[in-house]
């Protein structure tokens, strides 16, 4: 095992130098990303100083407010309550979505029965269903989880379905000719082959899940992050409000980056370092 990892690293190292020489500064993407973030912060600061709106704080004010919210414990406790329905909803959506999408991609019946529902759900302004969910399931955890899933599930199902549908036919007949079982062809060919598109769907789904949970907290019950936002808006603490909003955007971004890392690491090792 250990030798394997070392050898893979070597193979990557052999392939890369050529590209590195040719591209130069691009081999430090982290530096570039930091510059991009710094640029964004600078523009924000200037926009806040002009100011574009009396309700628009500067970047530095927002940063100060952020640490204030961290220190007084209101942000951590808000996240604790927001993350529960979010994580449950996203994890359920991921597994259900990939499962349902795979079934739809593999079977004609599943395709005709299920796919239209999700196409409608994806094109409908599903946020409008959230009050309906409250009406049926009350204001508890279930309602919030459902709000996350309503937004996250369709895109995951549809991407998985499309990816499985368009799986490389030649790899499938290769698997069959080497005596692969149906299950082996799903786990060893179809899912890895479909994984880039499935993961694109998962990233969109996770982003939509964040939207769902914030909407639920704004529309259903003021709890968690939604509560912090509403509270500070009502007191016109715009820096605190923006700090909260920015923090959830940052968290969502970090989750997506993590997802990408998992994809490359686990499913498509050949894309590492490309």
Q: Give the interface with other proteins as residue ranges (CB under 8 A).
A: 4, 7-8, 10-11, 15, 170-171, 173-181, 184, 188-189, 192-193, 195, 267-270
What minimum distance in Å lies between the beta carbon of 5 and other proteins? 10
Q: With respect to other proteins, which residue has the nearer C-beta, 168 or 253?
A: 168
CB of 112 to other proteins, least distance (A): 24
Query: Nearer to other proteins by C-beta: 129 or 267?
Result: 267
- Spatial separation of the C-alpha atoms in residues 97 and 185, rounded to whole Å: 20
Q: Are 130 and 109 in contact (CB under 8 A)?
A: no
* C-beta of 146 vs 167, nearer to other proteins: 167
Check: CB of residue 125 under 8 Å from CB of residue 249: no
Nearer to other proteins, 109 or 177 (CB): 177
Smallest distance from other proteins to CB 102, Å: 17
CA Rg value for the chain: 23
Query: What Cα–Cα distance (Å) separates residue 160 from each residue in 80, 155, 169, 174, 214?
Result: 31, 8, 16, 22, 25
The span from the CA of 46 to the CA of 232, in Å, is 23
Nearer to other proteins, 21 or 128 (CB): 21
Sequence length of the chain is: 274
Q: Considering only CA atoms, which of 85, 65, 84 is closest in space to residue 75?
A: 65
**What's the min distance (Å) between Cβ of 208 and other proteins?**
27
CB of 261 to other proteins, least distance (A): 16
């Amino acid at each position: 095992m250990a030798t394997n990892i070392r050898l893979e690293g070597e193979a990557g190292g052999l392939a890369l130098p050529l590209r590195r020489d040719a591209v130069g500064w691009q081999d430090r993407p982290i530096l570039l990303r930091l510059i991009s973030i710094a640029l964004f912060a600078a523009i924000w600061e200037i926009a806040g100083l002009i100011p574009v709106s009396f309700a628009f704080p500067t970047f530095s004010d927002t940063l100060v407010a952020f640490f204030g919210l961290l220190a007084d414990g209101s942000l951590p406790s808000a996240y604790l309550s927001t993350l529960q329905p979010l994580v449950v909803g996203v994890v359920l959506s991921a597994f259900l979505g990939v499962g349902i999408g795979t079934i739809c991609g593999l079977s004609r019946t599943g395709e005709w029965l299920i796919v239209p529902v999700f196409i409608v759900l994806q094109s409908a302004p599903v946020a409008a269903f959230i009050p309906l969910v409250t009406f049926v399931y009350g204001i508890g955890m279930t309602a919030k989880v459902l709000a996350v899933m309503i937004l996250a599930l369709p895109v995951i199902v549809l991407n998985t379905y499309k990816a499985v549908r368009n799986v490389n036919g030649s790899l499938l007949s290769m698997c069959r000719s080497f005596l692969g079982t149906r299950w082996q062809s799903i786990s060893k060919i179809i899912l890895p082959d479909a994984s880039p598109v499935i993961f694109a769907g998962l990233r969109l789904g996770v982003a939509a899940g964040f939207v769902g949970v914030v909407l639920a907290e704004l529309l259903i019950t003021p709890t968690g992050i939604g509560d912090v936002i509403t509270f500070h808006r009502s007191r016109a603490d715009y820096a605190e409000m923006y700090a909260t909003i920015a923090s959830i955007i940052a968290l969502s971004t970090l989750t997506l980056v993590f997802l990408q890392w998992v994809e490359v690491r686990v499913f498509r090792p050949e894309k590492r370092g490309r």
